[in-house]
Structure 1
């Protein structure tokens, strides 16, 4: 049976387990036919299964609110990647209130890992309450290219809390302009001179 499966596959390279099984059924209707999963396993064992790449969802911007009152709109992003004096990288996660331009938090993290972001926002929500909307770019951990509607676990959590998700268009940082200008000020004040030795000092 295995030889038959391999011979049919070599004869019809584009066929998968389903078509091979259908052909076997038509030609040998009176004998037991292996399940599609069994045929697929044979093909896989011999390296004859084509692997499909994970589907990527192209990022698009969403509608953007004006955020004219405090807590109507928060803006968030990472201020790049900084190499510290101890050769450890620092990823500052910042959140501002759009209306007041107030810096709500600036956490020096060792990674853009989603778990770290959860911790920062959990603490911030307890201290400041929940905003109506949060605006970010389409990067990790705010979005996920492999998820439906690009929704990361962090974004799904925000939605469950009743927070609206706003995304700027890829390549349009000016749509988060106030936050970007704050980052320029932060960079001037915090990195010149760059004498930070340990991650805890960056906070």
Structure 2
């Protein structure tokens, strides 16, 4: 399956970056157009020559988000800030913006070392 992914990425690159958009918004328009064509116009061999849009159906289950995570074996819970950091002892420690708004469990492994 890696070959299929590589081929899709080659097509994506050829159609969206050659030439690239003049600015971020124009480049995003090129990506959006590719996604639209890929999902609604191009038949896919793996889908019996149908498009993904032909087969897509939204889930009947409503997404309720993730439950709160509990860290019973950790010493402290900390909240990751919107910019992806935790703040401890007047220090800002970069974690990741992917974790923004999430709680992390941290454990003291040595005196003052978390």
- Scaled to the shorter chain, the TM-score interval is under 0.3
Higher relative contact order (CA closer than 8 Å, sequence separation 6+): 1
Larger Rg: 1
TM-score, structure 1 length as denominator? 0.14
Normalising by structure 2, report the TM-score. 0.21
